[in-house]
Amino acid sequence: MGKKVTIRDIAKESGVSTTTVSRLLNHVEGYCSKDTEQRVWAAIERLNYHPSKIARSLVTQKTNLIGVIFPDIYNSFFQDLFRGVEEYASRLGYQLILCNTDGNSKKERDYLLSLAENLTDGIIISTSNAKDDNTTIVDLHKKGFPIVTVERYGKELKDVPRILFANREAEEQVVDYLYRSGHRRIAYISGPSNAVNANRRQEGFRNGLSKNGLLVDDSLILTGDYKLESGQECMRRLLDEHGCGDRKKPDFTAVMAGNDLMAIGAVRAILERGLQIPDDISVIGCDGTMLADLIRPQIGTIRLGGIEMGKKAAEYLISEIKSEDTGEKKVIFQPQLHLDGRIKTIEE
């Protein structure tokens, strides 16, 4: 076995100090010239140097690991979110640990405590897709542990860095668009009633109807659980209860769903009845994931910008880890509607 290469060997090989090598390995920016940086990295490659992460963590008290806690890693929105976190964090030398809770509050709390006590420099945690319990998050933040939330709500989080989405405004804008396109009876498949973001989206839908002088018909509003199967089942019920027999059109012309997965489930149910999209029923989801673009026939969607939200969450967290005071860390992402060419225009 050959002699283990150290940072002293790298420093000697590249003609710089061990401090310079150490700072480059720890991704300290602006410390040396590009020429010096290139010489050091060339020496690292020639000598096949692999730094000991354990030794580094003992010296720096940092692991360069970030914990990411999501409720459903099969949901394309959370996949986009994770991709954004990874793209930003990896450029700065961080690696990720992904935890899936299935919306279980006990699993969420256990992951939070384990990641904070033993493994990571900071945590990014999203909504639980159910009633969020923010107690552990607030406790960790008060103790100085870096943590950033995505789409979690509660007055108790006012001092915690947050990434949010304009849920009410998004659904209200879709109703405005549908109204301008001639739609007067619109169905809605909501996410779970104990999820704050689902309630905000449904509020936006109801506000949009009222603003445009349309009847708020509760029989056209059903509740799913953000999963594809619930969207399919809710759509079947809507079709059964609103006059859709064999190839007969229902008494509504569009359906909005609280996320893309439920919208895709609705598409399945509509096609089962031999109906056409968007000619018989226009379908609109929310998330703007790749699935919404790939499914045929195409559906409308609201693009949340999951990748961009993930990047911003990583930026906020790493700033917290480095104790950089950049003021209030809260951003609300605005909706981007992708509806043109995917919604039927109804002539009055």
Structure confidence at residue 103 (pLDDT) = 86
Pick the most confident of 5-9, 33-37, 107-111: 107-111
Residue 245 has pLDDT above 70, yes or no: no
Structure confidence at residue 1 (pLDDT) = 42
Structure confidence at residue 58 (pLDDT) = 42
**How many CB atoms are located within 10 Å of the residue 319 CB?**
17
Q: Map out the domains of the chain with their CATH numbers.
A: 7-51 (1.10.260.40), 62-165+306-333 (3.40.50.2300), 167-304 (3.40.50.2300)
Residue 2 has pLDDT above 70, yes or no: no
Q: For the chain, report the end-to-end CA distance as a whole number of angstroms.
A: 83
Residue 199 has pLDDT above 90, yes or no: yes
**Contacts of residue 324, Cβ cutoff 8 Å, sequence gap at least 6:** none
Structure confidence at residue 182 (pLDDT) = 97
Rounded distance between C-alpha atoms, residue 345 and residue 348, angstroms: 10
Structure confidence at residue 74 (pLDDT) = 86
Residue 195 has pLDDT above 70, yes or no: yes
- At 8-52, the pLDDT tens digits run 888 888 888 888 887 777 666 666 788 888 888 888 888 887 665
What single DSSP character describes residue 257? E
Residue 213 has pLDDT above 80, yes or no: yes
β-strand pairing of 301-303 with 336-338? antiparallel
Residue 339 has pLDDT above 90, yes or no: yes
The token duo for 309 is: 């939200």
Mean pLDDT of 277-281: 95
Least Cα distance to 125 among 144, 105, 142 occurs for 105
β-strand pairing of 95-100 with 65-70? parallel
What one-character-per-residue DSSP string does 43-106 give? HHHHTT----HHHHHHHHS---EEEEEES-TTSHHHHHHHHHHHHHHHHTT-EEEEEE-TT-HH
Least Cα distance to 321 among 144, 173, 83 occurs for 144
Confidence of residue 136 (pLDDT cuts 50, 70, 90): very high
Rounded distance between C-alpha atoms, residue 11 and residue 40, angstroms: 7
Residue 105 has pLDDT above 50, yes or no: yes
Q: Per mean pLDDT, which range of 24-33, 163-172, 250-259 is the poorest?
A: 24-33
Structure confidence at residue 309 (pLDDT) = 97
Phi first, then psi: give them for residue 308, nearest 5 degrees: -65, -40
Structure confidence at residue 23 (pLDDT) = 78
Helix, strand, or coil (residue 344) = coil
Say if CB 47 and CB 5 are below 8 A apart. yes
Mean pLDDT of 209-221: 96
Residue 57 has pLDDT above 50, yes or no: no
Chain mean pLDDT for the chain: 89
Rounded distance between C-alpha atoms, residue 196 and residue 308, angstroms: 21
More confident residue, 247 or 91: 91
Confidence of residue 237 (pLDDT cuts 50, 70, 90): very high
Q: Per mean pLDDT, which range of 109-113, 214-218, 241-245, 266-270 is the poorest?
A: 241-245
**Contacts of residue 166, Cβ cutoff 8 Å, sequence gap at least 6:** 332, 333, 334, 335
Structure confidence at residue 51 (pLDDT) = 62
Structure confidence at residue 17 (pLDDT) = 86
More confident residue, 330 or 3: 330
Rounded distance between C-alpha atoms, residue 257 and residue 192, angstroms: 12
Structure confidence at residue 28 (pLDDT) = 65
Rounded distance between C-alpha atoms, residue 24 and residue 36, angstroms: 10
Mean pLDDT of 265-269: 97
Mean pLDDT of 195-223: 96
Mean pLDDT of 136-145: 93
Residue 98 has pLDDT above 90, yes or no: yes
The token duo for 61 is: 């008290």
Residue 331 has pLDDT above 80, yes or no: yes
Confidence of residue 280 (pLDDT cuts 50, 70, 90): very high
